[in-house]
């Protein structure tokens, strides 16, 4: 393969790798390190592999990605147009119900289509570079054990990128360290199903490497001073959880979900049985410092003065013994929803904070009966003209210590652990695999009850309950426990047809890439193309910057918009 210009900017169509190519797309990148040094220096290769983890996690939890699709799934709500939240979650403004993806370079609503694409493919670029150094150039990264650790992480990252492109886009590119990049425009586009298959293969390869090679990752790979060290055994468990996630969360609608075979669901259960909750369990995540590492989804999602829990979700999780205290959807004008009295301990009576209207959130002071995850707010921060359906009287406070800039309570300073793959996340995948795959229903009930009973203080489900009853309890736990963990609530809602009408169910290839490929624009969602149709042609430009440079600029812009605290 031709790797002679790997560190030069390549066509964004390769978004795949920031690796260079010949011809008019061979654009110099003055910020990239020298190729010869980069592919022979062990310290550089190790840092490159470690950096892929940060790129992956920030991409998954960014404001423009995880936060947005949580809101599109009616988990969160806000009428601010930061990150185009208002545009993509409004009803009856620009579009009769929901708007589709604005896949046009000149659109102000375009940038969100690129966040997953450039973020993930930027990580793939670095992972492939590390594998080239190890497998082609024979670089030893400090010692054989560290070399195998670096190789394992790089292969795992290939699987992660393929998996997340499969989950979010209808098509993508499969590029590895063995791909010939002489003519990147000749690379074939493949379907999301093919991306999924490639991801599962890479995950299996990485799992085998993790099983065979003892190691411990660097703490700096998941944070600055307070990152977590993970062993090869834990990395192997993480891989199994991600495999279960990829199969369970892949369907775009209820029909596709129903088409997943019992054998496939049994495989989901089998992977999850070896996942992060397999004894001894652990949570995988990173430590947010607010500068180098941040969790955009939780920073805004847990700021009750900025983002609320959508009434579609609030109406489910405030159910209690007094029907008059249950929140209804849509938001009831003019008085709103009442203070809850839920029997779920994660909601409680909604009191929170040291005083009424704490930090201007319209809250009620904690009287000892508040919930662990949700708080009641009597007022709303949104302009009424943007739609009362954005209003809500419930906020998410489970991770409020990460909320920017922090409320000032103990440990609520905008820093702290940001879990990405939790034991609960894995347990619920495991339980669903058992229920849908005809497995041990008693075990499924036990897995659901870990949070239903222990955190929610609700009556337990049992193995004797119907499949429908178990799935209802499972989906209730998913809505509460997984809110803010990447875009999980979006993937779960789309596969059981809980998304609002005309909400896009996947992303098209970004217009910039289509232009380079000389393909017509197309999109998904909205009144004109709810299933996705072709649009006008777009002429191909002569060249673009590398995906790593593009992603770096997108990161900076996202953080600047969040820090401005200007609600648009």
The pTM for the full model equals 0.90
Domain assignment present for residue 286? The answer is: no
Range of the domain at 338: 303-397
Tens-digit pLDDT string for the chain (568 aa): 333 223 222 334 444 444 433 333 333 333 344 445 556 789 999 999 999 999 999 999 999 999 999 999 999 999 999 999 999 999 887 888 899 999 999 999 999 999 999 999 999 999 999 999 999 999 999 999 999 999 999 999 999 999 999 999 999 999 999 999 888 778 899 999 999 999 999 999 999 999 999 999 999 999 998 999 999 999 999 999 999 999 999 999 999 999 999 999 999 999 999 999 999 999 999 999 988 999 999 999 999 999 999 999 999 999 988 999 999 999 999 999 999 999 999 999 999 999 999 888 899 999 999 999 999 999 999 999 999 999 999 999 999 999 877 788 877 889 999 999 999 999 999 999 999 999 999 999 999 999 999 999 999 999 999 999 999 999 999 999 999 999 999 999 999 999 999 999 999 999 999 998 888 899 999 987 665 433 323 233 334 455 676 777 778 888 778 777 677 7
Domain assignment present for residue 115? The answer is: no
Alpha carbon of 322 to those of 343, 352, 366, 458, 490: distances in Å? Answer: 10, 20, 20, 16, 30
Per the DSSP assignment, residues forming a β-bridge with 190 are 172
Q: Total domain count for the chain?
A: 1
Domain assignment present for residue 344? The answer is: yes
Domain assignment present for residue 207? The answer is: no
Say what the pLDDT of residue 236 is: 98
Say what the pLDDT of residue 550 is: 74
Domain assignment present for residue 23? The answer is: no
Compute the residue count for the chain: 568
Domain assignment present for residue 167? The answer is: no
Residue 168 in 3-state DSSP?
helix
Residues with Cβ within 8 Å of residue 520, at least 6 apart in sequence: 514, 534, 535, 536, 537, 538
Say what the pLDDT of residue 428 is: 98
Q: Which helix (H) or strand (E) holds 266?
A: helix 262-273
Own/partner pairs, 494-498, CB within 8 angstroms, 24+ separation: 494/73, 494/251, 494/252, 494/253, 495/249, 495/250, 495/251, 495/252, 495/253, 495/254, 495/256, 495/257, 496/254, 496/257, 497/253, 497/254, 498/73, 498/74
Domain assignment present for residue 390? The answer is: yes
Say what the pLDDT of residue 39 is: 66
Domain assignment present for residue 543? The answer is: no
Ordered alpha helix ranges (H), 465-505: 467-481, 488-494
215 HSE (CA, 13 A, CB side)? 24
Say what the pLDDT of residue 565 is: 62
């Amino acid at each position: 393969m031709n790797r002679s210009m790997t560190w030069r900017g390549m066509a964004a169509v390769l978004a795949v790798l920031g690796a260079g190519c010949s011809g008019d797309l061979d654009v110099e990148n003055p910020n990239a390190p020298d190729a010869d040094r980069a592919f022979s220096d062990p310290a550089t290769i190790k840092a490159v592999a470690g950096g892929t983890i940060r790129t992956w996690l920030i991409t998954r939890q960014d404001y423009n990605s995880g936060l947005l699709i949580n809101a599109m799934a009616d988990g969160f709500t806000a009428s601010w147009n930061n990150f185009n939240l208002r545009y993509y979650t409004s009803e009856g403004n620009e579009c009769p119900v929901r708007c589709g993806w604005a896949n046009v370079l000149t659109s102000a609503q375009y940038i969100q289509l690129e966040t997953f694409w450039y973020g993930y493919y930027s990580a793939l670029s670095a992972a492939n570079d590390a594998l080239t150094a190890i497998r082609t150039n024979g670089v030893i990264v400090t010692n054989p054990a560290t070399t195998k650790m670096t190789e394992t992480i790089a292969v795992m990252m290939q699987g992660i990128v393929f998996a997340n492109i499969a989950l979010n886009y209808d098509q993508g590119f499969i590029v590895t360290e063995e791909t010939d990049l002489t003519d990147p425009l000749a690379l074939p586009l493949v379907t999301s199903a093919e991306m999924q298959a490639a991801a599962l293969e890479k995950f299996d390869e990485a799992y085998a490497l993790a099983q065979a090679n003892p190691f411990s990752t660097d703490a700096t790979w998941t944070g600055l001073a307070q990152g977590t060290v993970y062993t090869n055994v834990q990395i192997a468990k993480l891989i199994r959880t991600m495999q279960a996630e990829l199969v369970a969360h892949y369907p775009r609608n209820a029909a596709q979900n129903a088409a997943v075979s019992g054998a496939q669901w049994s495989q989901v259960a089998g992977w999850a049985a070896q996942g992060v909750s397999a004894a001894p369990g652990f949570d995988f995540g990173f430590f947010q410092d607010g500068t180098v590492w941040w969790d955009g989804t939780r920073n805004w999602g847990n700021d009750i003065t900025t983002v609320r829990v959508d009434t579609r979700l609030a109406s489910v999780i405030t159910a209690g013994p007094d029907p008059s205290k249950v929140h209804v959807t849509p938001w009831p004008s003019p008085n709103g929803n009442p203070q809850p009295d839920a029997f779920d301990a994660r909601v409680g009576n909604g009191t929170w904070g040291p005083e009424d209207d704490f930090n201007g959130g319209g809250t009620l002071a904690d009287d000892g009966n508040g919930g662990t995850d949700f708080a009641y707010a009597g007022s709303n921060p949104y302009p009424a003209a943007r739609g009362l359906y954005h209003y809500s009287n419930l906020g998410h406070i489970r991770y409020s210590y990460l909320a920017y800039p922090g409320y000032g309570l103990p440990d609520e300073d905008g820093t702290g652990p940001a879990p990405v793959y939790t034991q609960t996340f894995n347990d619920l995948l495991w339980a669903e695999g058992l229920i849908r795959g005809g497995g041990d229903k008693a075990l499924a009930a036990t897995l659901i009850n870990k949070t239903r009973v222990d955190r929610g203080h609700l009556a337990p489900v049992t193995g004797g309950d119907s499949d429908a009853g178990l799935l209802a309890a499972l989906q209730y736990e998913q809505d509460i426990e997984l809110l803010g963990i990447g875009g999980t609530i979006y993937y779960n809602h789309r596969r059981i047809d809980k998304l609002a009408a005309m909400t896009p169910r996947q992303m098209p290839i970004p217009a910039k890439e289509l232009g380079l490929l000389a393909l017509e624009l197309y999109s998904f969602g909205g009144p004109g193309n709810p299933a996705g149709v072709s649009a006008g042609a777009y002429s191909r430009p002569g060249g673009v910057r590398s995906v790593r440079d593009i992603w770096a600029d997108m990161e900076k812009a996202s953080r600047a918009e969040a820090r401005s605290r200007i609600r648009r």
